Amino acid sequence: MKSVNTRTLWRAAVVCVIILAILYIMTFHNCSGKLRQEVPTTQTRLAGDSPQRPLPPPGPCTCADGAEMLKDHIPKDQYEKLVQRRAKELQQHKARTTSVLSRLLIALPNSPLQYPIQGFTVRPLIPTPIPGLALHAGQRSSYKVSLNVSKGVLTTQIQAEDVKVQGGGGTRLVMESSSLVILNEALAKVSYTSTVYHIHTGDLASFQFENHQAVFPITIKQPQVPVLHDMGTDISSHVSIATKTFLRYPQLKVMLSSLRRFYSNIEVIIADDSFEPENITGEHIRQYFMASSQGWFAGRNLAVSQVTTKYFLWVDDDFLFTENTKIEKLVEVMEAVPELDVLGGTVQGNQFYFSLLYEEGEELEGGCLHRKSQDKFQSLPGYPKCFLASGVVNFFLARTDAVQRVGFDPQLQRVAHSEFFMDGLGSLLVATCDHVSIDHQPKTGHTDNARYGSFRNPGRSDVDFKLQLHFFKNHLKCVKYG
């Protein structure tokens, strides 16, 4: 009786195990089917997927409270034609500054394709091997890949009989082999040659295997010849002093006298647009005369254009050098952080600096710009008294070639300072330090002061002109000065 009960229990247990196994298989099959429907495998991509997507155009930007709406400063009878000319100029600007390299590329998951994702640069018209091309796929009877470009041709030097090559010397190259090893050897010898000369542009290469596609950038760039500056052995070979003067010869002479107390041999470059020019004599002084009252930015351009040293120190003609005006300390920071282009100090304790917040906005309206005074970014590593900013006070050390590339707009005669940093936004890396300072001369009752003041203080027409210039030249909808 006992053995019969045992056999019955064993049979029941076996039946239960079988039922559980069947339920498990059914459940797993249904779940995996759903997963296969929901998640694309490496063999099949979702319809419409593409490794490259155009970036959406920027939407309208938001003007800060109290911002100047620049179109309000444009005469109504000129507005429509001005907007048309501005739109044309914007398209030409984009043609010069954007390329296919700006396109958004998305790497699809689990691709067996190997390719360069960054740093592949070719010289125009020069054949260059494409580094890193390879296929990593499972066992197949045959392997077939294709490459496509648009601004160049593709070639391979392999002579193996086991590789079938189609389209060599054109924009499309197809390679097929029964051996993955031999196919990868052929891919390692594929070269790209641009067919159009351009100093800086790009191409997008499409690399395909079965249902897998990858797109990678090719930078086409003419290498630049280095332009190096011999720093020499002392400060006079490192830095020149640049200034602009107008109707203030007494102040200029005081500034030069204070400079010579500390730096006897440093070169001084003076741009002068006074009505009755006066020769400033002395060693290591170069004075350049301009047509009268051409303005501050025109004078800055002239002075900076004549600098031959790696750096120049910009000062106003009524500044005063003191024992705290240590130019060497500014040079030390610039040399330690070679990415820097402009480094400001303080003027009589005033460490004026600002940030520029810029949104591109949409094409028809233009962008939004907000200048925030006394707003800065993070500190420079190793220099806790120095911070990155967008613009600085009118006492700064600058990298000569960087400033020459941006330039000072000579259309701005009397209302100008922040505008230089606006034009240089994204081109100039700017910082400010508080451990180097210069003084300002006290105001005097000199007879020329009233005459100078009539030019120094801008009228409403100057302000309107500046805002109109921002509307067109900088493609702005609004500006907030804070």
Q: What mean pLDDT is predicted for residues 414-424?
A: 89
Instruction: Summarize pLDDT for 364-417 with one digit per residue, the tens.
Output: 999 999 999 999 999 998 999 999 999 999 999 999 999 999 999 999 887 778
pTM: predicted TM-score of the whole model, two decimal places = 0.83
**pLDDT tens readout for residues 3-25:** 445 555 555 554 454 544 444 44
| Homologous superfamily of 235-481 | Spore Coat Polysaccharide Biosynthesis Protein SpsA; Chain A (3.90.550.10)
Q: Residues 6 or more apart from 18 whose CB is under 8 A from it?
A: none
Task: Give domain limits for the chain.
Answer: 112-221, 235-481
pLDDT tier at 312, thresholds 50, 70, 90: very high
Cα(262)–Cα(256) distance, rounded to whole angstroms?
10
Please give the Cα distance from 265 to 278 (Å, whole number): 22
For residue range 180-207, list pLDDT tens digits in order: 999 999 999 999 999 999 999 999 999 9
**pLDDT over 60 at 83, yes or no:** yes
* Band of residue 45 on the pLDDT scale cut at 50, 70, 90: very low
Q: What's the whole-number average pLDDT of the chain?
A: 87
Distance CA 421, CA 391 (A): 6
Own/partner pairs for 12-20, CB < 8 Å, 24+ apart?
A: none
Tokens of 52: 């490259």
For the chain, what is the HEC assignment? Answer: CHHHHHHHHHHHHHHHHHHHHHHHHHHHHHHHHHHHHHCCCCCCCCCCCCCEECCCCCCCCCCCCCCEEHHHHCCHHHHHHHHHHHHHHHHHHHHHHCCHHHCEECCCCCCCEECCCCCCEECCCCCEECCCCEECCCCCCCEEEEEECCCEEEEECCCCCCEEEECCCECEEEEEECCHHHHHHHHCCEEEEECCCCCEEEEEEEEEECCEEEEEEEEEECCCCCCCCCCCCCHHHHEEEEEEECCCHHHHHHHHHHHHHHCCCCCEEEEECCCCCCCCCCCCEEEEECCCCCCHHHHHHHHHHCCCCCEEEECCCCEECCCCCCHHHHHHHHHHCCCCCEEEEEECCECCEEEEEEECCCCCCCEEEEEEECCCCCEECCEEEEEEECEECCCEEEEHHHHHHHCCCCCCCCCCCHHHHHHCCCCCCEEEEEEEEEEECCCCCCCHHHHHHHHHCCCHHHHHHHHHHHHHHCCEEEEEEC
Strand 476-481 to 342-347 pairing: unpaired
Fold (CATH) for 112-221: Immunoglobulin-like (2.60.40)
Query: What mean pLDDT comes out for the span 125-151?
Result: 97
